[in-house]
Every structure is written in C-alpha cells, then in structure tokens.
Chain A
C-alpha cells in the first residue's frame, strides 16, 4: 500500500510566522504535489516536484515555497503566514508516467 504521511493533522500559527509542512511518501514516487483545499474551490495546485531539487509552480504559488532535498520528502514553506492561508493542505505523490496521485490525510492550518 502506498503511504503518504503529513507531519501534522492540525496546526495553529500566528500571522507572520514561518510555517513548515512536511510530507513523506514510501513508494519511491518521482512526482510530489502540494494542494490546498477550500470550500467551493476544490483542490488547487500550489507547487509540484518531478525530481529531487526540481520544482515547478502550480496555479497558486504566491506566498509559498517548497523544498525537495530527498526523493521521499517534499516540504511546503509559508515564509510569513497570513490569515488568507488558513486552509486544508494536501500532499500527494505519483509514480512518473502514471496518472494516479496518492494523497496524504491533510493538514488543517489555521493562521490567527
């Protein structure tokens, strides 16, 4: 079974704090993704990575950065958290050449 884990299920931070969301997958997948899910908007892609140290912007990258130093780990960084970044954050991984993404359980981030 593919397993995608995220470091926290719930997180509360203050405006201006630097926030790290960690994601780890155990199936040697090449591609990893970060989404945010908001009511009425579905899942929107923030960033993705197709290889170690490689990254590409998704649809809504503003205010976020990412890091992929190892194949199994993909981090999402909020340099200076703002209240409009309060959301559910979902990480996914996918074997290159296939189309099925496997998702982690999500991190509910609240920025006060």
Chain B
C-alpha cells in the first residue's frame, strides 16, 4: 500500500511554460515533505521542502504547495527550462523514531520541450 503516490508517470511541457507535478499521501502523521530531482545515472538531489505548518515554500523558480486537508502537495516550476527534464520524486517523513525515514513516491518524468 503506497503511502505516497505520484499518479502521473510522465509530463511534457513547453519551455517557458509552467510545470505542475502532483503528489498525494495517505498517512496523517507525515509532517515534512520534500521534492528530489533525479537525472539518469545520478543519485537524487534535494530540490525543495515544506513543513506541515506551512502551505507554501518558494525557492527561485520552484514553489511547493501543501494542502493538508486534501493530503496533497504540488511542485510548480516557472518558467520551465530544458535542463529541468528529469524524474521528480515526492517524499514524506513523520516525527518519531531513531532517524527520520523518507517514504518516496514512484516519480514523475518531466520533459521540457525546447
């Protein structure tokens, strides 16, 4: 049973337009959410995060929105660039335990067309 779901395996967007990647979760105990970007033959790299006490976090072209009541978060990339083409993973963690474990979604392949 996947606790973090990315229902769109792929997304294509024109350069300069907005990319919106979506993520849904089921575990109410998740209190911290992250987005990672992964290029082929490389490990994932951290992109942006948001705590459950916020509903928006912005970093340059990247903005993450959190809707706790809907258990939904989204990543907006504006404007999209060809170099943004990668697999994007949503991840979530909950308080407690000896170390924070991340639960990842299955990923969305973003392709930005020039």
* Chain A contacts to B: CB under 8 angstroms: 4, 9, 30-31, 33, 35, 40-45, 48-50, 54, 56, 58, 90, 92, 94, 96, 99-106
3 tightest CB-CB pairs across the interface, nearest first? A103-B43, A42-B106, A43-B104
Main secondary structure of the interface of A (DSSP, over half): strand
Give Cα A64–Cα B103 distance, bound, in whole angstroms: 19
Give Cα A104–Cα B42 distance, bound, in whole angstroms: 8
Main secondary structure of the interface of B (DSSP, over half): loop
Provide the residues of chain A in CB contact with B36, threshold 8 Å. Answer: 103
**0/1 interface trace, chain B 13-52, chain A, CB 8 Å (1 if under):** 0000000000000000000101010000111111001000
Contact of A48 among B9, B99, B105 (CB under 8 A): B99
* Chain B contacts to A: CB under 8 angstroms: 4, 6, 9, 32, 34, 36, 41-46, 49, 89, 91, 93, 97-107
Is B98 a contact partner of A56 (Cβ separation < 8 A)?
yes
Contact of B104 among A42, A100, A102 (CB under 8 A): A42
Provide the residues of chain B in CB contact with A99, threshold 8 Å. Answer: 32, 34, 49, 93, 100
Give Cα A30–Cα B100 distance, bound, in whole angstroms: 12
Is A54 a contact partner of B102 (Cβ separation < 8 A)?
no
Is A43 a contact partner of B89 (Cβ separation < 8 A)?
yes
Is A103 a contact partner of B99 (Cβ separation < 8 A)?
no
Across the two chains, which residue of chain A brings its CB closest to B45? A103
Provide the residues of chain A in CB contact with B101, threshold 8 Å. Answer: 33, 45, 48, 58
Across the two chains, which residue of chain A brings its CB closest to B49? A99
Tell whether A45 pairs with B102 under 8 Å between CB atoms, given A99-B49, A101-B46.
yes
Contact of B41 among A54, A94, A105 (CB under 8 A): A105
